[in-house]
Structure 1
Amino acid sequence: MPTLQRTTPRSAKSRQRVDALLAAARSVFSELGFQRATTALIAERAGVSEATVFTYFPGKRELCVQVIKDWYDEITRDLEAALPRLPDIQSQLSYVVRAHLLTLLADGSGMCALVLGEGRTAGPGLSDVIAECQRRYVAPWMACLAQAHARGEIRQDMPLRLLRDLVYGAMEHVLWDSITDRKRPPIDDTAQQLCTLIWSALMPPLPADAHHTSLAALARFKDDVTEALRRLEQRDPPCP
């Protein structure tokens, strides 16, 4: 992982300057992507000279790395706080899916494009940072999956890593389509549809003989209803 800062801000004024730089950098990277963003524009938005950027960051890439790390820290903390409070794995799934779509399609659509698109091609340092941030981001959901798996609430014939990818892989396709088409899908409807689809895949598979058992039970029910109707007709014959 590359060094993020050349000079650590110590005074309150320096910290405010760095905060202003990071806020401006997030705005510029979100709007323009990594390649088109410039340190001159970031400095202008932050109200400082371009030389000030290099006082605290070795270059544009290191500044972008810090922006992405800070953003991931924010959205990861929200998951870490929220998921343990939810009562079961299905409600946790609903929260993860909706929060992910809301964060990346509404609140952070520009950051979503940066991370999924240009951020991944900006060099090995940035790619490594994104991968590490994503591992931490999905860790709370992995913990929920592991607990549900141990309790037998989700299918146990598949590795947890594959179940994790089932969730985030499905959402990533939605995000890519949104970026490509420049059109945001209805978040609540999309989240509900994804949850229904994913939950059906997470549920433990029925035993091999469950289908036959269900058919047999349905046949018995039909016979019982037929017999009850026959007895009712014998007791109260229809009027001529």
Structure 2
Amino acid sequence: MNSRSSKPLSRQQERGQKILQAATQLFSEQGYHHSSTRQIAKAAGVSEGTVFNYFESKNALLEEIIKGFYERLTETAQDGLHERHNSLDQFNFLAKNHIRMIAADNFLLMRLLAVYFSEHFNFYLDYQNSSIFKHSKSYTRLFDRIIREGIARKELRKDIKLSAMRDLFFGSMEYGVRSLLAQLEPGENQLSDRKLRQYAKTLCQPIWESMKVRGHEHQNRRELEICERLERVAERLEGHL
């Protein structure tokens, strides 16, 4: 189910994808608990028995959808980071991309994670052995890489407690998404790219400031100004599309 793969899907894989897509759509529109495997089968154009041939339960479908979200989150982040060549730009991009992806499809990932945690009462007792943790870890390693490279470039302090900063970063992003969700107007289910970018920057700046090496203020300020100019250009271009 990797979108990077150039190999055509087999008939069996295509059927599994259709079932996942149907489940994702129904979970988004009706909610997990109001979507039956019979409805999923009908939407996918297969029998209910076929659904269970691919996924042992509706809960297994839920887990596979969440894993797919993390794979796409990691993939889009990797692509964007590859195009950026300084730590501050990468740091800001990771934040914006995280919020954008989490907020997509009417905040579907957050809603599904809430269901997953409620269905797995003992999840946190065996968190590190869960498949969700493994996919999450692959993604959060990207943050670790940005910080380590920033330290190697002497842009960031050597004494940074990486695990604490990682928790602060992603914790801020997760809470930020909830805050943005509360700010949606009636009937509005998507946030503008401009609002996402501005909010990500607001959350990121104090975290970055706490990590950077003193004496690099001018350089980092210059980098931030360049990023802001590029963002304004992007906003103008978006306005003409």
User: Which has the greater radius of gyration?
Assistant: 1
Task: Mark the CA change 1:35 to 1:131 in structure 2 (over 3 Å): closer, same or farther.
Answer: farther
In structure 2, the gaps of 5 or more residues are: 1-8, 216-241
For residue 47 of structure 1, report the CA deviation from its aligned partner. 1.8
Distance across 1 between alignment mates of 2:112 and 2:181: 10
Which of 144, 147, 155 is matched with 1:145 structurally?
A: 147
SS at 1:154 equivalent? coil
The answer to whether 1:188 aligns with 2:185 is no
1:49 is aligned to 47
Distance across 2 between alignment mates of 1:59 and 1:197: 44
Distance across 1 between alignment mates of 2:179 and 2:37: 30
Q: Which amino acid aligns with 1:142?
A: D
1:203 is aligned to 212
Which of 115, 131, 134 is matched with 2:133 structurally?
A: 131
Identity level (%)? 27
May I ask how many residue pairs the two structures share in their alignment?
195
Task: Mark the CA change 1:101 to 1:174 in structure 2 (over 3 Å): closer, same or farther.
Answer: same
TM-score (norm 1): 0.71
Q: Does the 8 A contact of 1:29 with 1:111 survive in 2? A: no
Task: Provide the alpha-carbon RMSD of the alignment.
Answer: 2.5
Q: Which amino acid aligns with 2:200?
A: A
1:22 is aligned to 20
Q: Does the 8 A contact of 1:31 with 1:110 survive in 2? A: no
For residue 71 of structure 1, report the CA deviation from its aligned partner. 1.9
Q: Deviations over 1:34-89 (max 9, x none)?
A: 43332122112112221110111111111111111122112211222331331111
For residue 148 of structure 1, report the CA deviation from its aligned partner. 1.3
The answer to whether 1:79 aligns with 2:77 is yes
SS at 1:95 equivalent? helix
For residue 160 of structure 1, report the CA deviation from its aligned partner. 0.9
For residue 107 of structure 1, report the CA deviation from its aligned partner. 4.7
SS at 1:58 equivalent? coil
Distance across 1 between alignment mates of 2:147 and 2:105: 26
Task: Mark the CA change 1:41 to 1:125 in structure 2 (over 3 Å): closer, same or farther.
Answer: farther
The answer to whether 1:122 aligns with 2:119 is yes
Q: Does the 8 A contact of 1:89 with 1:144 survive in 2? A: yes
Task: Mark the CA change 1:167 to 1:125 in structure 2 (over 3 Å): closer, same or farther.
Answer: closer
Distance across 2 between alignment mates of 1:58 and 1:197: 46
In structure 1, the gaps of 5 or more residues are: 1-10, 207-240
Q: Which amino acid aligns with 1:94?
A: N
Distance across 1 between alignment mates of 2:83 and 2:15: 37
For residue 204 of structure 1, report the CA deviation from its aligned partner. 2.6
Distance across 2 between alignment mates of 1:140 and 1:153: 17
Distance across 2 between alignment mates of 1:144 and 1:108: 29
1:64 is aligned to 62
Task: Mark the CA change 1:156 to 1:125 in structure 2 (over 3 Å): closer, same or farther.
Answer: same
For residue 168 of structure 1, report the CA deviation from its aligned partner. 0.8
For residue 171 of structure 1, report the CA deviation from its aligned partner. 0.8
Q: Deviations over 1:101-127 (max 9, x none)?
A: 111113562123212x22222215796
SS at 2:159 equivalent? coil
Q: Which amino acid aligns with 2:170?
A: Y
Distance across 1 between alignment mates of 2:104 and 2:58: 26
